[in-house]
Amino acid sequence: MSNAPHYEIDPDTFWRDPYPDLKRMRTECPVAYVPQLGATLLTRRDDIFENEKKIEIFSSDQPEGLMTLLMGQNMMRKDGEAHMAERRAIFPTVSPKTVKQVWKGAFERLTAETLADIHPQGHADMVRDISRRIAGEALKVITGLTCISWQEMDRVSQGMIDGCANYRGDPEVEANCHDCTAAIDRYIDEMIPALTETPDTSLLSVHLQAGLSDAQTRANVKLAISGGQNEIRDVISGVVWTLLTHPDQLQMIDDGDASWLDAFEEYSRWMSPVGMSPRRVAQRYQLHGVTLEPEDRVFLMFGSGNRDETVFDRPELFDMTQNVAPSIAFGAGPHFCAGAWAARSLISDVALPMIFDRLPGLKLEGETEFGGWAFRGPLSMPVAWEV
C-alpha cells in the first residue's frame, strides 16, 4: 500500500458535490489516499495527463476491478496491443465517417420524433422524459440492440454505472447490476441471428464481422451501453440547464459568437460527466514524494483535473470564452473515448439545437439537483415551454 497522506471524506457529501474536497486535495495533497474509497487519488490535471499514458505503471488491466468483475474484461480494461486490436475492430462503428454518413441522420430522425411527441405536453422532466429517450434511441441503433425500448436501455445502463461505482459494496446495487448485465446478454442473443444474416455498421455487427470472441463482444457492448447512455443523457440535460441559468452564454450562441459545440466542450470540462477512471499500479512508482506500490488502486480524477487552477483561468465557472484545449473530459491517453465523435454529433449537432428550436420559450420550472463524483449529472430537471 502506498505511503500517500490520508484524506477523509464524507461519502454522501462527496457524492452531492465533490469539488470542494478535490480543490483542497489539489492544493494540500495532490496524491492522497481516501479510505472511504479504498484508493489513492491523483487530482492535478498535468499529473493525470502525463501518467495516464504510462500504461506499464498505471495499468487498465484490473482483474479484481468492479467493471471487470461485473461486466467482463472489455477493451477499456486492457492495455497495449490487446486494447488496440479491439479498438481497431470497432472503428467502423465509431469513425467520423460513419458518424457523419450513418448515425447523424438517425440521430436527427429519432430526436425529431422525441420532441414531436413531447411538445404538445408543454412541460416535462428534461432528464427523465427527453434526454433519457434521445440517448436511449440513439444507443439502440449504434449498438444494434434495436429489440429493446429506450427505457430499458437506460435501466440497464444505470444499473451497470451504479455497479461500477459501488465502492461501498452495497449488495443490492451489485445484484441489480448482475440483473442488468444478464438482460443485455439476452438482448445480444436475440439480435445475433439478424445481424449475422444482414450485417451493418452497428457495434454488435462489427464485432461479429471482425470475428472477435463471444466474451469480447459481450463485454464491449456492455461498455458502450454504460458509456453511451448515462453520460449522453446527463450532458444533454446538463448543458440545457447550464445555458438556461447562464443566459449571457446562451446569447453568445444566438449571436453567433459561440457554437453548440463550444457549449458541449466547456460543460464537459466544467461538470465532467465521467469524473474518474481507475487504474492498477503495476510497478513501484514515485510521484510528489508518494511511493505507489504494486497492486495499489489509483483513481485518475478527471473532474478534478478539469478544474485545476494552475491550468484553467476560471475553472469553477462555465465560460465558453476560456480555452478548453487542456480539458481531459474524454481521457488523455490511449484510452481516449472511442465514442467521442458520436457524442459530439448527437449532442452538439443534433440534440441541443433541436431542443432549443422545437421547444420554444424553454424554461426551468423547479430546482435541479446534481449528484455523483465518478459519474456526474442532473438527477431531475422540470422544464416548460410554449405550446
Is 366 inside a domain boundary?
Answer: no
For the chain, the straight-line distance linking the first and the last C-alpha, in angstroms and rounded, comes to 60
Angle at 58 between CA 55 and CA 64, to 5 degrees: 115
Is 227 inside a domain boundary?
Answer: yes
Copy the grid coordinates of residue 254: 444566438
The C-alpha atoms of residue 356 and residue 319 are separated, in whole angstroms, by: 19
Is 365 inside a domain boundary?
Answer: no
Q: What phi and psi values does residue 24 have, to the nearest 5 degrees?
A: -65, -40
Number of domains in the chain: 1
Say which residues have a Cβ less than 8 Å from residue 78's Cβ, sequence separation at least 6: 60, 61, 86
Tell me which residue range forms the domain holding 341: 11-359
Sign of CA dihedral 67, 59, 86, 133: positive
Q: In this predicted structure, what is the pLDDT of residue 312?
A: 97
Is 94 inside a domain boundary?
Answer: yes
Which of helix, strand or coil describes residue 6?
A: strand
The model's pTM: 0.94
Is 156 inside a domain boundary?
Answer: yes
Q: Where are the alpha helices (DSSP H) in the chain?
A: 11-16, 19-28, 45-51, 66-71, 80-94, 96-98, 104-118, 132-143, 150-164, 171-197, 203-210, 214-228, 230-245, 247-254, 260-271, 302-305, 340-344, 352-358
Is 318 inside a domain boundary?
Answer: yes
Annotate 120-187 with DSSP letters as a single string: GGSEEEIIIIIIHHHHHHHHHHHHT-TTS-HHHHHHHHHHHHHHHT-TT--HHHHHHHHHHHHHHHHH
Q: In this predicted structure, what is the pLDDT of residue 336?
A: 81
Is 101 inside a domain boundary?
Answer: yes
Q: In this predicted structure, what is the pLDDT of residue 307?
A: 98
Copy the grid coordinates of residue 380: 431531475
* Adjacent-strand bridge partners of 278: 299
Q: What is the mean pLDDT of each run of 10 residues along the chain (387 residues)?
A: 94 97 98 96 97 95 90 92 93 96 97 98 97 97 97 96 89 96 98 97 97 95 93 96 98 98 98 94 97 97 98 96 94 83 96 98 95 95 97
Q: In this predicted structure, what is the pLDDT of residue 186?
A: 98
> What CATH number is given to the structural domain containing 304?
1.10.630.10
Q: Which helix (H) or strand (E) holds 364?
A: strand 363-364
Is 374 inside a domain boundary?
Answer: no
CA neighbor of 82 nearest in space, from 334, 384, 358: 334
The C-alpha atoms of residue 159 and residue 226 are separated, in whole angstroms, by: 9
What 372-375 contacts at long range (C-beta under 8 Å, 24+ apart), as own/partner pairs, is: 372/15, 372/165, 372/275, 373/14, 373/15, 373/18, 373/275, 373/276, 373/303, 374/164, 374/165, 374/274, 374/275, 374/276, 375/161, 375/165, 375/230, 375/231, 375/234, 375/273, 375/274, 375/275
Say which residues have a Cβ less than 8 Å from residue 283's Cβ, sequence separation at least 6: 56, 57, 294
